[in-house]
């Protein structure tokens, strides 16, 4: 288990990911902040279930924010 972990990904902009209390399959709190190359319509999405206790995604123009509580760990194929 890791107390804190982070990752930065370049994919049509910059994505910054923060993980708190991370195990191999679950994370207590994970957040991401995105700065996109292309603007989009603003929206807010709130989710319960589907592998997470609570999730929120907000996007406005070129900026996005994602927050998940007690959810499956986001993974990338390296």
Query: Residue 50 is part of which domain span?
Result: 2-72
Q: Is 77 inside any structural domain?
A: no
Output the CA angle 1-3-22, nearest 5 degrees: 50
Query: What average pLDDT is seen over the chain?
Result: 92
Q: Is 16 inside any structural domain?
A: yes
What lies within 8 Å, CB to CB, of 43 at 6+ separation is 58, 59
Give the predicted TM-score (pTM) of the model.
Answer: 0.83
**Percentage of the chain lying above the pLDDT 70 cut:** 96
Q: Is 78 inside any structural domain?
A: no
Q: Is 8 inside any structural domain?
A: yes
Give the Cα separation of 29 and 11 in Å (integer). 23
Q: Is 41 inside any structural domain?
A: yes
Whether residue 78 is predicted with pLDDT greater than 60 in this model: the reply is no
Question: Listing from the earlier edge strand, what are the strands of the sheet with 26-47?
Answer: 2-10, 13-22, 26-47, 52-72
Beta-bridge partner residues of 10: 14
Work out how many domains the chain is built from and give that number: 1
Beta-bridge partner residues of 31: 18, 67
Q: Is 25 inside any structural domain?
A: yes
Q: Sorting pLDDT into bands at 50, 70 and 90, what band is 11?
A: confident
């Amino acid at each position: 288990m890791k107390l804190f972990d982070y990752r930065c990904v370049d994919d049509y902009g910059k994505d910054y990911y923060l993980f708190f209390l991370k195990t191999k399959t679950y994370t207590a709190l994970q957040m991401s902040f995105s700065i996109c190359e292309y603007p989009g319509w603003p929206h807010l999405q709130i989710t319960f279930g589907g592998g997470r206790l609570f999730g929120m995604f907000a996007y406005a123009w070129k900026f996005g924010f994602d927050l998940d509580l007690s959810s499956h760990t986001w993974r990338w194929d390296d």
